[in-house]
């Protein structure tokens, strides 16, 4: 039994369990005096879907769409390995320019030349794309203050969208950057801020003589929101100008929720048309079109990402968005999220992926671990007292996280410095007093000076040389990126969870990745102890040997079973030499989805009373109608059957997967499968108290039918057994 906490806070936590977006905790915010520092400005509601999606460059009224995401752009995008740089804090390549002020602890003198100087390094790491934060000109206002100067350095409140900020370089330098990157085989993505701009932006018309509006709501002190559809044509021109002029390969879309879906349809159509109209010479000497990839930043849960980025299945808006829900699952499982929430279980990784069931079929999430608005993974490890740079666990957990990203289906993004396990020395716990002046607020502390081997770095312009641990981590990441590039099953494979032996469900994450007859099993041990797990061959979907793609070790089955060792906080990539066409799985509990015994009964009569818990119990979860754990629908209310047994029959009308708990209305009781393990249909599993966010279990329904959810408590009411069984 758990203790009921503040009801309002618990509802928020419950609502955000699957999204992982626990940016605040019960009791206060994560950073006290943090003013908005760039793109993290709360929307004032001025982003309603306006009727402005049918304007075309030729002035006709022909409606655009529906577009599709089933096209070569997003097929190629599956293999994107993007390296992100924060322009002002990365590398200073030209000592004569630079903002000199900014948020974070860097030198604040980063520029385009510094990125050019780093391209060979980035390519050598195994990346095939770069994303740089905005480089458009932010012209100072008269008598603006230090906060505005810092905001200008971020680039997220631009004045002139058609000029390069002279503190970053020139148009010629920007062209050199793009052309040099293309010649090396690197895509280049600019940062598109199409939902807000600086207060003086109307003074800088486009080459087509369009200007932005002046009526939008005020944000960040020196900025205001765009107004749609009035600003649509201006931003269509921005989006296409840089593709036609410099031949960039697309856009990262800042705070994409500020732009209505119908406008995104128009902008994406314009980007794809512009990309098809120009070519450049790639590293192979071929003439190719710019990629035209667009990825949305919506720092919210999966429901908002679906509604504000992807749009409906029959009329897609954007095709790709950053996978914040899985990011939070990753850091909770291997470190801790910024709010302090931790869930060091393999099940947390599975529940992260359950969020994808909320997306339309055209969605192509972009996996990542950190960015310029989040605390670095190394600092999160120290915040949770898990490990510091002097300990092997610090580096092992970085490797584990990167192996997880390497096995992610879809494009991935890595923030500069993560390849060497960078951290901000002396910073771990949240700083609340005067954090902005110190550069230590959670939403910008990761903007420290870039460190590229052999290049000047830091406020003293010293040349960086990695130490042994940094170099080892960097080499491991590079090996992962090159492996990922060679194995389509990793970056575009269909992911199927693998049933893990019960004794290891808390520690071992397992997934089967398959594509065009190739299959890889990815295993990740999230614990500090080694795991030796025995799998039936059918559980892995294998009829032959397994080959470790990193060590080249061969594993053979003995009597139809594999014994696999997975060291502490380590990922393994095992290629199936003879994959089974049917894929992984031996059947639920040996009986398929239908179990046996009292827990599988679908017609047990109710007993007198409401049971020993003396409260009504419900299936609370992320299913459709569950309001992200907040709802307690009567259709999922348990009946008491006597002998400490609770049951409810649920009609599942479609294939689905969701997270859930057995809980009452005020969360004073919360139960799930022990270890927050996934449900194995038709199998009796241990039940345990599952208190707090991120401790839910998952169930996958592959066949519409009636299912009985049952749990039977022990005498102390703190555990027992449970089952989900298909009714015969």
- Tens of pLDDT, residue by residue over 458-474, are 888 899 999 999 999 99
Residue 133's pLDDT is: 98
Report whether 82 contacts 55 (CB < 8 A): no
Joined tokens for residue 34: 């943090």
pLDDT(193) > 50: yes
Average pLDDT over every residue of 549-567: 97
Strand spans (E) along 22-97: 24-25, 28-29, 81-85
- pLDDT (tens digit per residue) in 580-620: 998 998 754 444 689 999 999 999 999 999 999 999 999 99
Sign of the Cα torsion 329, 333, 335, 338 reads: positive
Q: What are the pLDDT digits (tens) for 231-272?
A: 999 999 999 999 999 999 999 999 999 999 999 999 999 999
CA atoms within 13 A of residue 464's CA, in its CB half-sphere:
21
CATH of 7-13+589-726, one of 2.60.40.3620, 3.40.50.620, 3.20.20.140, 1.20.120.420: 2.60.40.3620
Question: How many percent of the chain have pLDDT more than 90?
Answer: 80
Confidence of residue 723 (pLDDT cuts 50, 70, 90): very high
Segment 106-134, tens digit of pLDDT: 999 999 999 999 999 999 999 999 999 99
The structure tokens listed for 700 are 């996958």
- Specify whether the CB–CB gap between 493 and 520 falls below 8 A: yes
Instruction: Express each pLDDT in 208-220 by its tens digit.
Output: 999 999 999 999 9
pLDDT (tens digit per residue) in 127-174: 999 999 999 999 999 989 999 999 999 999 999 999 999 999 999 999
pLDDT at residue number 358: 87
The closest alpha carbon to 699, from 711, 715, 681, belongs to: 681
Question: 31-43+66-426+436-486 architecture in CATH?
Answer: Alpha-Beta Barrel (3.20)
The string of pLDDT tens digits covering residues 366-407 is: 999 999 999 999 999 999 999 999 999 999 999 999 999 999
In this structure, how many other beta carbons lie within 10 angstroms of the beta carbon of residue 138?
A: 29
> What stretches of 171-305 show up as alpha helix (H) in DSSP?
171-184, 232-246, 261-277, 302-305
Average pLDDT over the chain reads 90
- DSSP string covering 536-602, please? EHHHHTBSS-EEETTT--EE--BTTEEEEEE-TTEEEEEEESSB-TT-S---GGGSTT---SGGG-S
Joined tokens for residue 338: 């910024």
Q: Per-residue pLDDT for 360 more than 90?
A: yes
305: left (phi over 0), alpha (psi -120 to 50) or beta: alpha
pLDDT at 2: 33
Dihedral through CA 681, CA 682, CA 687, CA 690, nearest 10? 20
Closest Cα to residue 137, out of 80, 85, 203, 189?
Answer: 203
Closest CA to 365 of 401, 333, 327, 313: 327
- Does the fold of domain 31-43+66-426+436-486 match that of domain 7-13+589-726? no
| pLDDT value for 89 | 97
State pLDDT tens for residues 700-715: 887 899 999 999 999 9
Q: Is the pLDDT at 621 greater than 80, yes or no? A: yes
Instruction: Please list, in sequence order, all residues whose beta carbon lies within 8 angstroms of the beta carbon of residue 619, skipping any fewer than 6 positions away.
Output: 626, 636, 638, 648, 650, 660, 661, 662, 709
- C-alpha dihedral sign at 458, 460, 466, 468: negative
Q: How many angstroms separate the CA atoms of 712 and 432, rounded? A: 46
Determine the Cα–Cα distance for residues 318 and 194; give it in Å rounded to an integer.
Answer: 14
CA distance 701 to 711: 18
Q: What angle do CA 689, 694, 695 make, to 5 degrees?
A: 20
Alpha-carbon distance values, 129 to 80, 120, 125, 177, 396 (Å): 7, 12, 11, 12, 26
Contacts of 635 (CB under 8 A, 6+ apart): 650, 651
CATH number of 493-586: 2.60.40.1180
What's the whole-model pTM score?
Answer: 0.85
Distance CA 335, CA 329 (A): 10
Find out whether 247 and 178 touch, Cβ atoms under 8 Å: yes
Give the model's confidence band at 693: pLDDT under 50 very low, under 70 low, under 90 confident, else very high. Answer: confident
Look at 14-18, 76-80, 95-99, 667-671 and tell me which has the smallest mean pLDDT: 14-18
> Residue 7: what pLDDT?
30
Domain spans, the chain: 7-13+589-726, 31-43+66-426+436-486, 493-586
Distance, CA of 444 to CA of 437 (rounded, Å): 11
Partner residues linked to 548 by β-bridges = 574
Q: Each residue of 473-507: pLDDT tens digit?
A: 999 999 999 999 999 999 999 999 998 888 898 89
Amino acid 176: pLDDT? 98
């Amino acid at each position: 039994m758990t203790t009921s906490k503040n009801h309002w806070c618990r509802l928020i936590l419950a609502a955000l369990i699957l999204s992982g977006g626990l940016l605040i905790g019960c009791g206060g915010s994560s950073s006290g005096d943090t003013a908005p520092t760039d793109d993290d400005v709360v929307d004032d509601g001025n982003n309603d879907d306006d009727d402005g999606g049918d304007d075309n460059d030729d002035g006709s009224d022909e409606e655009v769409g529906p577009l599709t995401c089933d096209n070569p752009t997003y097929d190629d995008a599956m293999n994107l390995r993007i390296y992100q740089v924060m322009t002002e804090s990365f590398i200073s390549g030209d000592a004569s320019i630079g903002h000199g002020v900014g948020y974070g602890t860097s030198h604040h003198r980063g520029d385009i030349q510094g990125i050019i100087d780093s391209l060979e390094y980035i390519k050598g790491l195994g990346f095939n794309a770069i994303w740089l934060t905005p480089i458009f000109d932010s012209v100072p206002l008269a008598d603006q203050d230090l906060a505005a100067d810092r905001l200008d350095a971020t680039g997220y409140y631009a004045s002139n969208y058609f000029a390069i900020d002279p503190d970053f370089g020139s148009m010629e330098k920007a062209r050199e950057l793009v052309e040099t990157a293309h010649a090396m085989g690197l895509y280049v993505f600019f940062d598109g801020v199409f939902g807000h701009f600086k207060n003086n932006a109307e003074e800088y018309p486009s080459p087509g003589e369009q200007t932005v509006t002046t009526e939008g709501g005020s944000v960040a002190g020196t900025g205001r929101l765009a107004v749609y559809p009035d600003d649509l044509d201006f931003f269509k021109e921005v989006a296409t100008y840089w593709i036609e002029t410099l031949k960039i390969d697309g856009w990262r879309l800042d705070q994409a929720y500020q732009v209505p879906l119908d406008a995104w349809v128009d902008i994406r159509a314009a980007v794809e048309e512009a990309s098809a109209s120009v070519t450049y010479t790639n590293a192979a000497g071929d003439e190719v079109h710019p990629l035209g990839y667009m990825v949305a930043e919506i720092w919210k849960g999966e429901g908002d990402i679906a509604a504000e980025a992807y749009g409906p299945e029959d009329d897609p808006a954007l095709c790709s968005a950053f996978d914040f829900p899985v990011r939070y699952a990753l850091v909770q499982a291997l470190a801790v999220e910024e709010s302090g929430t931790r869930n060091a279980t393999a099940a947390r990784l599975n529940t992260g992926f359950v969020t994808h069931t909320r997306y339309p079929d055209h969605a192509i999430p972009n996996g990542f671990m950190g960015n310029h608005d989040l605390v670095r993974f190394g600092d999160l490890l120290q915040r949770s007292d898990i490990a510091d740079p002097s300990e092997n666990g610090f580096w092992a957990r970085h490797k584990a996280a990167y192996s997880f990203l390497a096995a992610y289906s879809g494009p991935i993004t890595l923030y500069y410095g993560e390849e060497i396990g960078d951290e901000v020395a002396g910073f771990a716990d949240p700083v609340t007093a005067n954090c902005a002046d110190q550069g230590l607020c959670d939403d910008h502390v990761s903007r420290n000076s870039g460190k590229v081997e052999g290049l000047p770095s830091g406020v003293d312009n010293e040349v960086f040389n990695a130490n042994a641990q940094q170099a080892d981590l960097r080499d491991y990441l590079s090996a992962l990126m090159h492996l990922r590039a060679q194995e389509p099953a990793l970056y575009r494979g269909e992911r199927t969870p693998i049933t893990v032996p019960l004794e290891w469900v808390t520690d071992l994450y397992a997934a089967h990745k398959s594509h065009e007859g190739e299959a890889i099993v990815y295993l990740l041990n999230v614990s500090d102890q080694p795991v030796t797990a025995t799998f039936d061959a059918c559980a892995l979907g294998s009829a032959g040997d397994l080959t470790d793609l990193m060590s080249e070790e061969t594993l053979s089955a003995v009597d139809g079973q594999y014994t696999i060792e997975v060291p502490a906080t380590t990922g393994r990539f095992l290629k199936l030499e003879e994959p089974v066409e049917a894929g992984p799985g031996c059947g639920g509990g040996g009986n398929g989805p239908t179990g046996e015994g009292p827990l599988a009964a679908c017609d047990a009569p109710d007993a007198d009373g409401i049971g020993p818990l003396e409260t009504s119990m419900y299936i609370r979860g992320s299913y459709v109608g569950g309001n992200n754990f907040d709802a307690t629908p009567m259709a999922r209310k348990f009946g008491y059957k006597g002998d400490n047994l609770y049951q409810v029959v649920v009609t599942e009308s479609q294939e689905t997967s969701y997270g859930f708990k057995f809980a009452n209305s005020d969360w004073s009781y919360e139960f799930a499968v022990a270890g927050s393990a996934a449900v194995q249909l038709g199998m009796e599993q241990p039940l345990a108290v599952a208190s707090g966010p991120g401790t839910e279990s998952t169930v996958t329904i592959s066949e519409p039918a009636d299912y009985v959810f049952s749990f039977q408590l022990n005498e102390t009411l703190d555990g027992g057994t449970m089952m989900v069984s298909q009714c015969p």
